[in-house]
C-alpha cells in the first residue's frame, strides 16, 4: 500500500481525490472483466427455458380458470345502466381477482380459489378459499353448526381467526 501513497503524492492528489481515482480505476477494471466474461460465455440452450415456459403456461391457465369462475354475487348482478355496463364492471372485478390470485404464491399446492357458499360448503371446500386452512375451515363449520346459517357473508368475522383484513381477502369468493 505504500506504493499507492507514493503515487498519490507524486501525482499531487489529496486523500479524497486519490480515493475517487481508485474507485474509478476499480470500476473500469470491473467493467472490462464483465465485458470479457460476457463475450466468452456460451449462449444458454433453449431447453433450459422449457421448465419456466411450462410453469408460465400453467399459471396462465390457472388465471383463465379463475376468471371463468366468477363469484355468483358478481356474475348475476345487473346495474342501472343495463347488462352491458354491469358486464364491464364484472369483468374488471374478475380480472382484479384473477390477478391477485395469480400473483399470490402457491407454496402449499392448493388449487386456486373458487366462489363458495358459506352455508353449504364442506371444510374441504372452504380450504380452497385464500387464507383458510384446515383449522379455520373446521371453525367455520362448527360456528355454522352452533349458530345456524350465515345471514350475510360479513358475519364470517364472528368466527375466531377471521378479522376485517381476512374478510376483505375472502369477499370476492364467498356468497350465501
pTM above 0.75, yes or no: no
Q: How far is CA 162 from CA 47, 107, 130, 146, in A?
A: 45, 21, 12, 17
State the total domains in the chain. 3
**Number of Cβ within a 10 Å radius of residue 66:** 22
Together in a domain, 7 and 51: no
Together in a domain, 169 and 133: yes
- Tell me the Cα Rg of the chain: 29
- Residue 117: which H helix or E strand, with range? strand 116-117
Burial per residue of 125-157, b for 16 or more beta-carbon CB atoms within 10 angstroms, e otherwise: ebbbbbebeeebbebbeebbeeeeebeebeebe
Distance, CA of 135 to chain centre: 23
Nearby residues of 2 by Cβ (< 8 Å), 6 or more positions away: none
pLDDT per position as a tens digit, 59-75: 776 655 555 555 555 44
Query: Of the ranges 28-42, 96-110, 141-155, which one carries the lowest mean pLDDT score?
Result: 96-110
pLDDT per position as a tens digit, 75-121: 444 445 555 455 556 666 666 666 565 555 555 566 778 888 999 99
Query: Residue 51 sits in which domain range?
Result: 46-111
Q: Tell me which of 89, 111, 133 is where a domain ends.
A: 111
CATH number of the structural domain spanning residue 122: 1.10.150.320
Amino acid at each position: 500500500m505504500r506504493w499507492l501513497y507514493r503515487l498519490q503524492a507524486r501525482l499531487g492528489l489529496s486523500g479524497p481525490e486519490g480515493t475517487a481515482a481508485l474507485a474509478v480505476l476499480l470500476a473500469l477494471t470491473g467493467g472490462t472483466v464483465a465485458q470479457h466474461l460476457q463475450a466468452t460465455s456460451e449462449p444458454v440452450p433453449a431447453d433450459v427455458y422449457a421448465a419456466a415456459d411450462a410453469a408460465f403456461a400453467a399459471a396462465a391457465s390457472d388465471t383463465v380458470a379463475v376468471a371463468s369462475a366468477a363469484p355468483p354475487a358478481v356474475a348475476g348482478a345487473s346495474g342501472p345502466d343495463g347488462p352491458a355496463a354491469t358486464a364491464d364492471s364484472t369483468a374488471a372485478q374478475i380480472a382484479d381477482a384473477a390477478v391477485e390470485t395469480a400473483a399470490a404464491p402457491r407454496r402449499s399446492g392448493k388449487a386456486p380459489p373458487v366462489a363458495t357458499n358459506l352455508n353449504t360448503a364442506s371444510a374441504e371446500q372452504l380450504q380452497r378459499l385464500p387464507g383458510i386452512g384446515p383449522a379455520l375451515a373446521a371453525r367455520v363449520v362448527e360456528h355454522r353448526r352452533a349458530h345456524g346459517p350465515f345471514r350475510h357473508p360479513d358475519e364470517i368475522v364472528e368466527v375466531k381467526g377471521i378479522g376485517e383484513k381476512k374478510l376483505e381477502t375472502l369477499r370476492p369468493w364467498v356468497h350465501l
